[in-house]
Structure 1
Amino acid sequence: MSKGYWVTTYRATKDPAKLAAYAQLAPAAVAAAGGKFLVRGAAEEVREQGLKERTVVIEFPTYEQAVAAYDSDAYKKALEALGDGVERDLRIVRGTD
């Protein structure tokens, strides 16, 4: 089975308080689903029209677990807390293993 990854870039933070509330809930929801944070921070270098955005990469044991984590009740609560506090791009991708 292929690993699954969430790859998220934060384009803009509109409400830091909402982002902080999300940050209190999301790590536990991710960990409960078997997720492991690999990257958390702004890009140090950008190439090929890249942007210096905050980037987060989370690895899950399987692609199916990555999808299930996003759909979990615990993560839905984190998303509810986040609301419209940020503009971001979150993709769930399958690993090549």
Structure 2
Amino acid sequence: MPAYALAHQFPPAELHEEVYAYMERVQATLDPFGGTFLVHGQPVEVREGDWPGALVIIEFPAIEQARAWYDSPAYQAIVRMRADHIPGVVLLVDGVEPGHDSAAMAAGMRAAAQAAARTR
């Protein structure tokens, strides 16, 4: 099941030189773990709510590879080059299985909630 690293970043108007160096080096840290950029700072089209900043989404084959990448010595050697100059939030999250069905998920959640209510 794929997993994703997501970053909601708040870049300043002018990027620090270390951010450019980070960008030049980050792909080499992703390659050993099968990490692939899906979104990298493109403008977002906000349809609901408020979304200041930029979005980055990186796909990995599984959550284990995402964790291993983030914790790797290669990535940890460069992460401060970005984090010290661009505030934001970084998340790791599992994706869904192929054929994911939100209606089936809702039915399972509803049944679990009803069962829990009966035992109270």
Aligned equivalent of 1:3: 2
Runs of 4+ in 1 over 6 A off after TM superposition: none
* TM superposition score normalised by structure 2: 0.71
Aligned equivalent of 2:19: 19
RMSD: 1.7
Give 3-state SS (helix, strand or coil) of 1:42's partner: coil
Aligned equivalent of 1:87: 87
TM-fit CA distance, 1:79 = 0.8
Q: Is the 8 A contact 2:10 2:53 kept in 1?
A: yes
Aligned equivalent of 1:62: 62
TM-fit CA distance, 1:16 = 2.2
Q: Is the 8 A contact 1:3 1:94 kept in 2?
A: yes
TM-fit CA distance, 1:78 = 1.5
TM-fit CA distance, 1:83 = 4.6
Q: Which has the higher contact order (CA 8 A, sep 6+)?
A: 1
Aligned length: 96
Q: Is the 8 A contact 1:66 1:92 kept in 2?
A: yes
Aligned equivalent of 2:77: 77
Give ranges in structure 2 of 5+ residues lacking alignment. 98-120
Question: Which sits farther off after the overlay, 41-50 or 25-34?
Answer: 41-50
Q: Which structure is larger by alpha-carbon Rg, 1 or 2?
A: 2
Q: Deviations over 1:56-75 (max 9, x none)?
A: 10000011100110000110
Question: Which sits farther off after the overlay, 77-86 or 19-28?
Answer: 77-86
Q: Is the 8 A contact 2:11 2:54 kept in 1?
A: no
Give ranges in structure 1 of 5+ residues lacking alignment. none
